[in-house]
Amino acid sequence: MDPDLCLIVGLGLGVLSVPALLSAISDSRAPRSGGLTLLVAVSLIAFAVNQKPGGYSIEQIPDVFFGVVGRFF
């Protein structure tokens, strides 16, 4: 799998896991689905950073995002 795609999917899942975690915590429930989603997101991001020589910088993330989206359109 392409490291750029893994990074973007991991960042997207990480953003989507935050509302699930906050909802579970505010309702006094165990944050199982949000925690699992966050775990998958962190794993994808770690895989992407390890596969790309030199890693990613914060400035590169928008270029990587639009590059991945551009490949699909």
pLDDT in tens, 7-58: 999 999 999 999 999 999 999 999 999 999 999 999 999 999 999 988 899 9
CA distance 9 to 37: 11
Instruction: Say if pTM beats, i.e. exceeds, 0.75.
Output: yes
Give every CB contact of residue 1 below 8 A, 6+ residues apart in sequence: 47
Residue 51's pLDDT is what?
95
Per-residue DSSP letter, 52: S
- Overall number of domains in the chain: 1
List the domain range (segments joined by +) for residue 37.
3-72
Burial class (CB in 10 A: 0-12, 13-18, 19+), 20: middle
